[in-house]
Amino acid sequence: MLEVQDLAVSYRGIRALRGVSLNVAAGETVALIGPNGAGKSSLLNAISGLVAKAGGRVAFDGADITRASPWSVAARGLLQVPEGRQVFPGMSVQENLLLGTTALGARPATWGLDEVFAIFPILRERRAQLAGSLSGGQQQMLAIGRALMGGPRLLLLDEPSLGLAPLIVRQVFRALAGLKATGLTILLVEQNARQALAVSDRALVLEQGRIVRQGASADLAHDPAIIASYLGQDEAHAGGG
Amino acid sequence: MIAQQLLNGIVVGGVYALFALGFNLVFGIQRILNLAHGAVFMAGAFTAWYTVVNGGPLWLGFLLAMALSGCLSVLIELVCFRRLRRTGDEEFGAIISSIGASLVIMTIAQRISGTRIVRFPFDTFPIQIYQVAGLRISLLQLFMAAAAFALVVVMAWFVYRTPWGRRIRAVTENARAAMLTGVNPNAVYRQTYFMAGALAGAAGVLVGLAFNSIHYMMGEPYLLFGFVIIILGGLGSIPGALLAALLFGMMQTLTIAFLPTGLTNAVIFLGLFLILLLRPHGLLGREEAGQLRGRR
Ligand SMILES: Nc1ncnc2c1ncn2[C@@H]1O[C@H](COP(=O)(O)OP(=O)(O)O)[C@@H](O)[C@H]1O
Ligand SMILES: [Mg+2]
């Protein structure tokens, strides 16, 4: 469904991505893990058309979108939930969600307000409130809901657990597992490797702009090198469930 | 007497609101001060005048003025600001390029009018004065107030109650995030500039009718008023600009009526200064709105 070939991104000559290739097949959930500054957001933003590509090619559903504008990428149903939520603070929860339907264009909606409220009931309660007054976790739910309103065929998620309390993180990942169960295709970027590996089918490890490992999530979760760098002994025991 | 001046002030303030709202909308969405906004206002007045002296009805002149000023405003965005924005350094560059656009438009108007003050024919608007509860109000004043009110309501409805307006607000708050939801900011900018220009054009016609004096420099004082109003109201705030426009209009008519001519501006600006001392971000402004964009 998504094919990324040899993608490169530079910021004023400084390379952030050095030839990244990856595929996401329909129905899959793929996790991309890696440390801060590895280039994860750059990858998603290059796919979404927000940052210029220094090289490589991106295709979605067989169509070349390498040079497509961010809004036309979104209009194809390739929707990103950006790092740091980026909800519209001065608009109500409901308006944020309705704005999400912009990406639909002539495509039929796959998620309506009621469906989004069903997975995030707190948003229904707060629907008239300004998005800026929500907690971080609620804003994350809103950002995901907003993307769902755009009828995603592939959902790109950039560190949805960033800065959230552990309890809220678990809630968000439960929602992601629910989305996956509906058959939605997901590319999930995370630093929280444990949760990301638990929810995904496949995973890739990005370090310094390169993919350094990839494999089935279940295998990577038991890989000693991954455990050492990304999971950590203490945590590995603590978070069994 | 004071009540009479307050009434006059509200009428004038309504016209200021039309001018300042567009100025403010553009500033809100792009952090650009469009210094050609006064020239767009003047072009509206000339368009209505041209229509009327060529035998067209005033309502047609009004509509044509809004349409032409709207298109002119869109053109200014395309020519002066769009390429500049790609540099990410547009805040100061835009001031220069919009002054340039303003000079071009004013020069064209100067050539067309032969540097003369032109006037609507005597019978363009029926002269009729009403006495209500001791206050005098002319039909023209009623029309100005009604037109300003109706246009502000339509604009507010568009911005706050329609999907297009929702996209305008989204781009105003966070253009990157808006793009990710499928919003094409260029289309939003076009709509915003059109709306801003059309409102300025309408204000130009109303001012042209009220003072029956249309000339190529007529937009310049309004640019200063607009500037004062959006700072007083709070940069980027629509309700703030409305409130500030009415307040400014009333302050102006009151000082003109009761103070010696030389003192009016000094008193008005002293008042503004005091208000800004108490509320540095304007009457309804938010703290972050006045800051220039940090991201390059
Ligand atoms: N807008 C930018 N301008 C300059 N450098 C940037 C920009 N965005 C990211 N970078 C740099 O690119 C590298 C990758 O960043 P990013 O993609 O944000 O990584 P991650 O999301 O994995 O933390 C980092 O070294 C970062 O400093
Ligand atoms: Mg990142």
CATH classification of the domain holding B204: 1.10.3470
Strand A154-158 with A78-81, pairing: parallel
For A227-236, B63-72, B88-97, B124-133, which range has the lowest pLDDT when averaged over its residues?
A: A227-236
* Of A223, A213, A216, nearest in space to A200 by CA: A216
> What is the atom index within ligand 1 of the atom nearest the CA of A158?
21
B170 CB within 8 Å of a chain A CB: yes
* Residue located via tokens 């980027």: B236
List, in sequence order, the alpha helices (H) in chain A. Answer: 40-48, 70-75, 93-100, 113-119, 121-125, 136-149, 166-181, 193-199, 217-221, 224-226, 233-238
* Of B75, B22, B80, B10, nearest in space to B227 by CA: B22
Q: Is the dihedral of CA B21, B22, B25, B30 positive or negative?
A: negative
User: What value, to the nearest 5°, has the Cα angle with vertex B95 and ends B154 and B222?
Assistant: 50
Q: Does some domain include residue B120?
A: yes
Rounded Cα gap, residues B290 and B169, in angstroms:
17
The nearest alpha carbon in chain A to B159 belongs to: A91
Q: Does some domain include residue B295?
A: no
**Shortest-distance Cα residue to atom 9 of ligand 1:** A42
Query: Which ipTM score applies to this complex?
Result: 0.91
Q: Does some domain include residue B286?
A: no
**Shortest-distance Cα residue to atom 7 of ligand 1:** A11
Return the higher-pLDDT residue of B241 and B265: B241
For A214-218, A233-237, B280-284, which range has the lowest pLDDT when averaged over its residues?
A: A233-237
Instruction: Say if the Cβ atoms of B179 and A103 lie within 8 Å.
Output: no
* Residue located via tokens 């800065």: A163
The nearest alpha carbon in chain B to A155 belongs to: B180
B87 CB within 8 Å of a chain A CB: no
Rounded Cα gap, residues B192 and B216, in angstroms:
25
pLDDT at B295: 35
> What is the atom index within ligand 1 of the atom nearest the CA of A17?
14
Rounded Cα gap, residues A140 and A163, in angstroms:
10
- For the cut 80, the answer to whether the pLDDT of residue A237 exceeds it is no
CA B10 to chain centre: 15
The nearest alpha carbon in chain A to B173 belongs to: A88
User: Residue A78: what are its φ and ψ, rounded to 5°?
Assistant: -100, 95
B173 CB within 8 Å of a chain A CB: yes
Q: Does some domain include residue B251?
A: yes
> What residues make up the domain containing B29?
2-278
- For the cut 70, the answer to whether the pLDDT of residue A189 exceeds it is yes
**Shortest-distance Cα residue to atom 2 of ligand 1:** A11
Tally of domains in chain B: 1
User: What value, to the nearest 5°, has the Cα angle with vertex A100 and ends A99 and A101?
Assistant: 90
Q: Which residues of A touch B183 (CB under 8 A)?
A: 71, 99, 102
- For the cut 60, the answer to whether the pLDDT of residue B246 exceeds it is yes
**8 A C-beta contact, residue B156 and residue B22:** no
Q: Does some domain include residue B43?
A: yes
Instruction: Say if the Cβ atoms of A99 and B167 lie within 8 Å.
Output: yes
What is the A39 CA–ligand 2 centroid distance (Å)? 7
- For the cut 90, the answer to whether the pLDDT of residue A47 exceeds it is yes
What is the B52 CA–ligand 2 centroid distance (Å)? 60
B181 CB within 8 Å of a chain A CB: yes
Q: Which residues of A touch B295 (CB under 8 A)?
A: none
Rounded Cα gap, residues B24 and B17, in angstroms:
10
pLDDT at B294: 37
Average pLDDT of the residues in B50-56: 95
Rounded Cα gap, residues B131 and B133, in angstroms:
7
How many residue pairs bridge chain A and chain B with CB atoms within 8 Å of each other?
66
* Residue located via tokens 């001031």: B95
Q: Does some domain include residue B285?
A: no
Q: What is the DSSP letter of A228?
A: I
- For the cut 60, the answer to whether the pLDDT of residue B61 exceeds it is yes
Instruction: Say if the Cβ atoms of B173 and A91 lie within 8 Å.
Output: yes
* Residue located via tokens 């220069």: B96
List, in sequence order, the alpha helices (H) in chain B. Answer: 2-30, 37-53, 58-76, 82-86, 90-113, 139-161, 163-173, 175-180, 185-211, 219-233, 238-258, 261-278
Rounded Cα gap, residues A82 and A130, in angstroms:
19
Return the higher-pLDDT residue of B132 and A155: A155
* Of A136, A152, A154, nearest in space to A87 by CA: A136
Which residues have C-beta within 8 Å of that of residue B128, sequence separation ≥ 6?
B138, B139
Give the residue from A47, A81, A88 with the most B CB atoms within 10 Å of its CB, the best one to mutate: A88
pLDDT at B292: 41
Q: What percentage of chain A exceeds 70 in pLDDT?
A: 96
Q: Is the CB of A16 under 6 A from ligand 1?
A: yes
Give the residue from A72, A79, A86 with the most B CB atoms within 10 Å of its CB, the best one to mutate: A86
Tokens of B66: 């809004």
Q: Is the CB of A42 under 6 A from ligand 1?
A: yes
B183 CB within 8 Å of a chain A CB: yes
pLDDT at A232: 66
Within 10 angstroms of residue B6's Cβ, the number of other Cβ atoms is: 16
For chain A, the C-alpha Rg in angstroms (whole number) is: 17
Q: Does some domain include residue B169?
A: yes
What is the overall mean pLDDT for chain B? 90
Q: Does some domain include residue B20?
A: yes
The nearest alpha carbon in chain A to B183 belongs to: A71
